[in-house]
């Protein structure tokens, strides 16, 4: 990324950064807006961003009437320079988000995934392995996007038809033909989602297992009914089995809501290769090291396969690492042919990076070059 402009976004009235390919370090006091910058970058990729915020939360407080938030970036890709922008739509659609690539409005999330990818790690994710399966599933789906941009479209379509089926069952719609058509559509998208996950895990497995310096190797498996079906049969047969399971569970699903089976219930199980323990049984520090190792492995593989590593958005990532792990992380980030963004309150923590990184200070709704 060579440039970033924020307009009336969160705490920033206007912020402009000119960049090169080196890692970016943002330091400043708590509440200064460092994470807001990472959130802005995450909105240039499919999905609701690293905070999952509602659009109403994004405009700057105190902005003039009629002002609209916007994020714009200049990105270097293997296909050349690309300008990407997103922001609040105008007129009747002001409560939705519009996306532009090279000045043209685009629809669908796959175009964003083609242009730029991003992976992130925030403090709230440090105990992801102890949370419910949904957080691990979202984490892994973001890894998948870096290898299969169309995954965003399939996932969105699956979630949309999942909600539609749940609504029909809740409302007592008994039209079997209608329900069968919806379930067949749901099965087609669901198998595509599961297949993309399996393909990504196969590609990632050797790189994840190797680890990175002091960061441990990881072994991962996908635990889901649809993924398991694809172990034993072609996709077309897996679709038929999934559709049959949906039809058989209509009464249960009408009472419980949602759907009892499907890739929306898949779990990502991760084990620490060094000690053989499930990630959930590892210490907090070991869990964070596993997450960092998985992100670094994914970034390296994407760089090798696509010729472009994702943006790595690492919020407060170094704060609780010892000097050995910090040094290894900084070396790995400097070596990846991509751009990493790191935040922290203590500029001294990032001193070992020296001129290998670009340093900025964030304070009072302003971003300035250099450290304070």
Domain positions in the chain: 1-117+310-372, 129-306
Query: Rounded to whole angstroms, what are the CA distances from 308 to 33, 126, 250, 279, 340?
Result: 28, 26, 44, 29, 13
**CATH number 1.20.1050.90 given to 129-306:** yes
Mean pLDDT score, 35-45: 95
pTM for the whole thing?
Answer: 0.91
pLDDT of residue 112: 78
pLDDT of 14 above 80:
yes
Beta strands in the chain (DSSP E): 3-9, 12-18, 24-27, 70-77, 80-88, 97-101, 104-105, 118-121, 218-223, 267-272, 311-314, 340-344, 358-363, 366-369
Indicate the average pLDDT of the chain. 92
pLDDT of residue 116: 84
pLDDT of residue 74: 94
pLDDT band for 337, please (50, 70, 90 cuts).
confident
pLDDT of residue 372: 54
pLDDT of 140 above 70:
yes
pLDDT digits (tens, 9 = 90+) for 180-219: 999 999 999 999 999 999 999 999 999 999 999 999 999 9
pLDDT of 247 above 90:
yes
| Contact present, 126 and 287 (Cβ < 8 Å) | yes
pLDDT of 93 above 60:
no
* Secondary structure (3-state) at 158: helix
Give the span between the Cα atoms of 144 and 201, in whole angstroms.
8
Q: How far is CA 309 from the centre of its chain?
A: 14
pLDDT of residue 132: 93
Mean pLDDT score, 142-166: 94
pLDDT of 122 above 90:
yes
Among 312, 297, 302, CA closest to 206:
297
pLDDT of residue 91: 65
Mean pLDDT score, 8-19: 96
Domain covering 1-117+310-372 in this structure, CATH number = 3.40.50.300
pLDDT of residue 39: 97
Answer with the residue of higher pLDDT: 209 or 364. 209
Among 57, 52, 74, 50, CA closest to 312:
50
pLDDT digits (tens, 9 = 90+) for 106-115: 886 667 777 8
Given the DSSP bridges, would you call strands 80-88 and 70-77 parallel, antiparallel or unpaired?
A: antiparallel
pLDDT of 220 above 90:
yes
Q: Residues with Cβ < 8 Å from 216, sequence gap 6 or more?
A: 272, 273, 274, 286, 289, 290, 293
| Contact present, 44 and 86 (Cβ < 8 Å) | yes
Beta bridge partner(s), residue 9 = 12, 59
Answer with the residue of higher pLDDT: 218 or 304. 218
pLDDT of 53 above 80:
yes
| Contact present, 315 and 38 (Cβ < 8 Å) | yes
pLDDT of residue 79: 81
Least confident of 86-95, 149-158, 185-194: 86-95
pLDDT of residue 109: 66
């Amino acid at each position: 990324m060579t440039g970033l402009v924020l307009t009336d976004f969160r705490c920033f009235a206007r912020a402009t950064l000119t960049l090169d390919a080196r890692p970016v370090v943002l330091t400043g006091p708590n509440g200064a807006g460092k994470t807001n910058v990472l959130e802005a970058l995450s909105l240039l990729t499919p999905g609701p961003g690293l905070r999952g915020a509602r659009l109403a939360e994004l405009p700057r407080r105190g902005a003039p009437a009629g002002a609209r938030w916007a994020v714009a970036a200049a990105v270097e890709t293997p296909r050349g320079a690309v300008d990407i922008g997103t922001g609040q739509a105008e007129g009747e659609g002001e409560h939705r988000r519009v996306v532009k690539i090279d000045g043209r409005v685009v629809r669908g999330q796959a175009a964003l995934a083609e242009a730029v990818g991003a992976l992130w790690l925030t403090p709230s994710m440090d105990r992801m392995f102890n949370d419910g399966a949904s957080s691990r599933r979202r984490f892994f789906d973001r890894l998948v996007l870096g290898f299969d941009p169309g995954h965003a479209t399939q996932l969105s379509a699956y979630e949309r038809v999942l909600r539609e089926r749940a609504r029909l069952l809740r409302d007592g719609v008994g039209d079997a033909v209608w329900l069968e058509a919806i379930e067949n559509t749901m099965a087609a998208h669901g198998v595509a989602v599961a297949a993309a996950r399996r393909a990504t895990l196969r590609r990632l497995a050797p790189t994840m297992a190797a680890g990175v310096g002091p960061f441990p190797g990881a072994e991962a498996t996908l635990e889901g009914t649809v993924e398991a079906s694809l172990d034993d049969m072609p996709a077309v047969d897996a679709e038929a089995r999934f559709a049959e399971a949906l039809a058989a569970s209509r009464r249960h699903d009408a009472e419980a809501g949602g759907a009892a089976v499907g890739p929306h219930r898949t779990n990502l199980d991760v084990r620490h290769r060094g000690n053989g323990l499930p990630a959930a049984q590892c210490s907090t520090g070991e869990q964070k090291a596993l997450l960092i190792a998985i992100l670094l492995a994914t970034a390296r593989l994407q760089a090798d396969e696509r010729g472009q590593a994702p943006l790595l958005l690492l919020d407060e990532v170094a704060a609780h690492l010892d000097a050995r792990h910090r040094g290894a992380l900084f070396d790995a980030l400097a070596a990846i042919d991509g751009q990493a963004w790191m935040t922290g309150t203590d500029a001294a923590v990032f001193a070992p990076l020296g001129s290998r990184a670009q340093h900025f200070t964030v304070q009072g709704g302003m971003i300035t070059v250099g450290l304070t």
